[in-house]
Structure formats: C-alpha cells, structure tokens
Homo-oligomer: A and B are copies of this chain.
Amino acid sequence: MKKKLKELAEFVGGTVVGDGEVEITGVGPIEGARPGEITFIAHPKFLSKLSETAASAVIVSPEITQAKQSLLSVKNPQLAFAKILTLYTSQPYQPKGIDSRSWISPSAQLGKELTIYPFVYVGDRCRIGDRVTLYPGVYVGEEASIGEDSILYSNVSVHDRTAIGKRVILYSGVVVGSDGFGYVKDGKKNVKIPQVGWVEIEDDVEIGANTTIDRAAFGKTDLRRGVKIDNLAQIAHNVVVGEDSIIVAQVGIAGSTKIGSNVTLGGQVGIVDHIEVGDNVMVAAQAGVMHNLPPNQVYSGGPAIPHRENLKMVAALSKLPEMKKILNEIEKRLKKIEETLSSGGKEK
C-alpha cells in the first residue's frame, strides 16, 4: 500500500508539518523504521530519537513542530499510529470455506462466507454467524452461538449454550463455559453444585491465550462489550465485567464479583468473590482486592488500598528495620532518663 502523508493526516484527523506529498509505504517502530515508513513518538521526551530514525515521517503531538522529517501532528499520536498501522496491515477477509475434515452438526445453523479449518467440531443446534473463522482444534458445544466476523483460534473450547457476540476474538486455548467451581461439604466429602447457567461474551471482546471463563451457577457470567482480557486469566462463575474494561495477564476474579466499566486490572491481580469494583478503577499489578472498591480511583497492595496510602506504607516499610533499631535505642535512653529522675533528677 502507498499513501501520501497528507492522505494519512486526513484519515486520522491530524495536520501535516512539512511535505505532505511524501509517499508512505509502510509503518515501523522508531528504532527500526526504514525510509518510506511512518513511525510515531508517544511523548516529547523521546524527541531526541527523531534525529536517529530513518523513517520518512513521524506522528507527533502538537507540541512538536520541527524535525528533519515530515510530521503528522495529532492530539493522540499513539491512537493515530494504531489506526494507520491497521490500515497498512489488515487484510480483507477471504473466506476459505468449510474443510471436509471438520465435523459440523447437521442441525447447526451456518452463516455465509465461513472459514472452518480441519479438525473443528461444531455441536448440535449451534448458530455460526457470517464470516466467522474457526481454526483447527476448535470445539463448539451444543446450542452455542458465535456472532459474525468473530475469530476463534486453534484449540479454543466453547461449551454448551455459550453466547458469543460479533467481532469477538478468542485466542488459542481459551476455555469458555466450563463448570464454575462450586461444591458444598457433606461432612468432609465435596458435593458438586451443578452449574446450570451459561456465559455471554458481548461484541468486540477479545480474550487472550489459555484464559478460562466459567459458566454461571445460575444465570450468566457476562463479559460486556469491548472488554479485553490478556492471557491466562481466570474469570469465575457469575462474574460481570463492565464495558471496555482491561484485564491483564494472570488475573483471577472469584465468583459473583462485579467489575465496573472502563476498569483496568494489572497483571496477577486477585479479587475475592461477591464484591464490586467501581467504574474507572485501576488496580496495580499483584494487588489482592478483598473489599468493594469505590469508583474512579487507583488501588494497590495486598490487601488493596488507595494507591497513595499504599505508597506511603511501602515507603514506611522500607524504613522498618531502621525504625526497630531507633525504637530499641529510645527505650535505652528512656530508661536512663527514668533512672536519672528517680535518683533525684541528676545525671549519673
């Protein structure tokens, strides 16, 4: 693909500083970009890198007004970069049809222009939307539905009655709709509580490799529109994750907990069951959330508390061995003073 810089500026709603006629043939990172490519810098502090890159044009924020290259000036350079990169790298969808080595139930309802690779299993009464892609080893259980333009990569398992929206991406090894972890003790014996609910994955959700999403005990586990989950996360039964929330790798969310919209959970965060995390909350990596978190704040630590308080605590913690020493010393000085006083106020 070839576009003039001025065309790209128009595409992302930015303006050109310098030569808008320069032809852009590709997109690259600041260090590795080659002549003809466009790159970006996320922040004026990386300004010095502009002189080193071989890129023919650079997407920058409006503070930057001068460079040896042509500039594409735009409020959010990273977003503009993502859009232009998508423009240059996305391929038009080309259906490959249904491979005869797959097994598709005769009772499944199939959309148009599908791509179904070998060794795919589609169960009874499933509904598969138009232009869905199912890679090798995908398993789709009975009465599951998959919305149009969704992609399920190799070895994904989608269990009975799961409802998947449009433009969803499930990466390899994802498991959706296996039983929630519910037992009740009968003496010492664990008696299984049947998990008769289901999972709903709404439009534009993406789920990372080997992440697991359990079906609800009753009702549904619900990942709302635009949720993005990284690899190896665990979403337990009846959890709700609000729109546009971001869940980083290896997070675990226990049963029935409700995550608000536009939340960000850092890597390896753990959240207990039956609590609520408010909208726009950010939780730092490895935090352990044990209580409801009010909205619009940043939390960290285990147990998770407001991030500023936690920072103070961590700072104090690093002083702890020193504090202990000081405390010992104070006790000695105090004892000495008390002896002085008891002996009539004069120092020995």
Chain A interface bracket (under 10, 10 to 19, 20 to 34, 35 or more)? 35 or more
B228, A181: Cβ atoms closer than 8 Å: yes
* Cα–Cα distance between A153 and B139 once the two chains are bound (Å): 10
**Contact pattern, A 156-196, Cβ under 8 Å of B = 1, otherwise 0:** 01010000000000011101001101011110111111101
* Cα–Cα distance between A324 and B272 once the two chains are bound (Å): 29
Q: Tell me the minimal C-beta distance from A266 to chain B in angstroms.
A: 9
Which partner residue on chain B sits nearest A191 by CB separation? B82
A183 is contacted by which of B217, B246, B268, B337 (Cβ under 8 Å)? B246
CB within 8 Å for A218 and B338 given contacts A154-B157, A249-B181: no
Chain B residues near A232 (CB, 8 Å)?
Answer: 210, 212, 232, 234, 252
A86, B194: Cβ atoms closer than 8 Å: yes
Chain B residues near A345 (CB, 8 Å)?
Answer: 341, 345-346
In chain A, residues 221-280, which have Cβ atoms closer than 8 Å to a Cβ of chain B? 226, 228, 230-232, 234, 236, 243-244, 246, 248-250, 252, 254, 261-262, 267-268, 270, 272
Chain B residues near A262 (CB, 8 Å)?
Answer: 188
A85, B219: Cβ atoms closer than 8 Å: no
* Cα–Cα distance between A136 and B155 once the two chains are bound (Å): 10
Most buried by B among A90, A121, A209, A317: A209
Q: Does A292 contact B (CB under 8 A)?
A: no
* Cα–Cα distance between A337 and B345 once the two chains are bound (Å): 11
Q: Does A47 contact B (CB under 8 A)?
A: no
B157, A194: Cβ atoms closer than 8 Å: no
Chain B residues near A101 (CB, 8 Å)?
Answer: 101, 103
Q: Does A340 contact B (CB under 8 A)?
A: yes
Sample of 10 more A-B contacts, CB < 8 Å, known A89-B196, A153-B159, A155-B173: A82-B192, A99-B103, A139-B154, A159-B172, A173-B173, A212-B249, A250-B252, A270-B285, A316-B321, A316-B324
- Nearest 8 A-B pairs (CB), nearest first? A139-B154, A157-B172, A345-B345, A175-B209, A121-B136, A29-B218, A316-B320, A212-B231
